[in-house]
C-alpha cells in the first residue's frame, strides 16, 4: 500500500470554508481546561438547521466547578443565534456529559450498547 505524502487530516484541514465556526474554550490561569467545538450548523435531510455534534471536554481535575455547564450553555447560545433548530447528542451512559445533559433537562431518545469483540 502506498503512503500518501500529504499530511494527516486535522481539524483545520477538515473544516470547509464558511462551514466550521469557533471552538469555545474555558481558560483558568492562562491554561485551557475545557473546550467545545467546532461550532457548525448544517441543514438536515428534512431541511431543518441542526447544530452539529461537537467535541466537548473538561479536564478531570477542574470538573465540578461549573465550567462544563458554562461551555455547554455558550454552545447552545451560539447554535440558537446561528439559526439551529435542534441538536442531537451522544454521550457515555452515566458519564460527565450524560449527567450534564440530564441536569440541563434534556430528554433521552434511547441508547445503544456496544460489545467489544
C-alpha cell, 37:
467545538
Query: Where are the chain's structural domains?
Result: 21-103
What is the per-residue pLDDT for 11?
A: 47
41, 43, 49, 54: CA torsion to nearest 10: -30
The answer to whether the beta carbons of residues 70 and 107 sit under 8 Å apart is no
What is the per-residue pLDDT for 43?
A: 94
The answer to whether the beta carbons of residues 70 and 64 sit under 8 Å apart is no
Q: What is the pLDDT along the chain (117 residues), one digit of tens a residue?
A: 444 444 444 444 455 556 578 899 999 999 999 999 999 999 999 999 999 888 899 999 999 999 999 999 999 999 999 999 998 888 888 888 888 888 998 888 877 767 777
Question: 21-103 has which fold?
Answer: Aminopeptidase (3.40.630)
Cα-only R_g, the chain: 16
Record the pTM. 0.74
Amino acid at each position: 500500500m502506498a503512503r500518501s505524502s500529504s499530511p494527516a487530516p486535522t481539524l483545520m484541514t477538515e473544516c470547509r470554508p464558511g462551514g466550521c465556526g469557533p471552538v469555545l474554550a474555558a481558560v483558568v490561569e492562562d491554561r485551557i481546561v475545557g473546550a467545545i467545538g467546532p461550532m457548525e450548523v448544517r441543514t438536515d435531510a428534512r431541511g431543518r438547521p441542526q447544530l452539529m455534534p461537537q467535541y466537548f471536554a473538561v479536564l478531570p481535575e477542574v470538573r465540578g466547578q461549573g465550567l462544563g455547564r458554562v461551555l455547554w450553555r455558550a454552545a447552545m447560545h451560539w447554535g440558537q443565534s446561528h439559526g439551529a433548530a435542534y441538536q442531537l447528542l451522544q454521550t457515555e451512559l452515566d458519564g460527565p456529559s450524560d449527567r450534564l445533559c440530564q441536569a440541563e433537562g434534556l430528554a433521552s431518545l434511547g441508547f445503544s450498547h456496544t460489545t467489544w469483540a
